[in-house]
Amino acid sequence: MNRFVFITGLALLALSEASFAAKKIAVLETTGDASFSKNEKQYVTDKIRERAVTNLPSSQDFEVMTRDGILALLPPGKSLEKCEGKCLTEIGKKISADYVCQAKINQVFGSYAVNIELYETTNGKLMGSFTQKKASIDALLADIEKESDRLFKAIAPQKGNIEKNGNSQTASEKNTAGYVEDMQGNKYRTVTIRKQTWMAENMRMRIENSSCYDNDKKNCEKYGRLYSWEDAKKICPTGWSLPKKFDYEILMDIEYDKLKSTAGWSTINNANGNGTDNYKFSVLPGGYDTGMFSDIGKNAYFWTSTPRSDGYAWYLEFGRNSSKFASNSNSVKMSVRCIKNP
């Protein structure tokens, strides 16, 4: 082969690969005042990063950088505490990110405030920003999620929808099934929804201090066992883990009743509490155990791995007509679903 043609071909190949390289987005660690703990700031960062993954999928040639990936490339000794504007874009260039995003949270006169900025690093252009103040942290977090979507959609192409069984469903929402075993050989059905693979049954592995509702083994067979938060973090199979709060938040974008089981929910005032279970996630109302058992047939409670404060952690409550996140003592025993590690 002619040497000139060969070298020219290599150059064109390199140019082609560069042209189709994924655009990298770096969500830098949230900064803020001392009234917020490191875990709370990381939670805000994870929430924004999760929205970036949702709105800027790899299928559309985007790559959302992980925390470990960013830290590995961050210049030694570089602090982001007082970094903003041009400083952020310079950091973005040093870690080879095309876009960089960061949030700052503060407590001001009893209210909670956030400022989020998204920059394009090549030209330092501010692509979008969001500033909000709310009376409660939960209200602020809801706005952070909504406005993060708005910011990232500004640089993303529109997602196409697909039709399945008459329901509009994005390609990342298609679900597939399988099975996983725990360390005692108990098998659990699994389902993949929006690129997350979940257990579709509550954990039943027997360990010391876990309980069956009303101390009845039949309830363990139907609803799974109930575990304290510390135990919940230890029982997932290898390659799986207790979900973070934002893992459940991705799932909860789906219409509520489509995640509930078609049987097992009580009927109150002639109203059936069962769901349609379109996604085969099969939420069952296993209740909880505080030393006294409560709410079987009425509500489901799932531990997350996200701590709230000393001795307290976040959990997800599925009621008959709604769902919500709350926190409770780590000693309370609740149901556990595991999520497959990415």
pLDDT digits (tens, 9 = 90+) for 279-327: 999 999 999 999 999 999 999 999 999 998 889 999 999 988 888 999 9
Beta-strand relationship, 31-32 and 99-108: parallel
Determine if the pTM surpasses 0.95.
Answer: no
pLDDT-based confidence at residue 33 (cuts at 50, 70, 90): confident
What domains sit in the chain, N to C, each tagged with a CATH number? 3-153 (3.40.50.10070), 167-340 (no CATH)
Task: Inform me whether the pLDDT recorded for 14 exceeds 80.
Answer: no
The answer on pLDDT for 22 being more than 90 is: no
CA angle in degrees (0–180, nearest 5) for 106-109-113: 30
Lowest mean pLDDT among 1-5, 165-169, 299-303: 165-169
Confidence bin at 85 (pLDDT 50/70/90): low
Q: Which amino acid is at 62?
A: F
Q: Are strands 167-170 and 161-164 parallel, antiparallel or unpaired?
A: antiparallel
Sign of CA dihedral 41, 335, 229, 241: negative
Neighbours of 328 (CB within 10 A): 19
**pLDDT (tens digit per residue) in 215-242:** 999 999 999 999 999 999 999 998 999 9
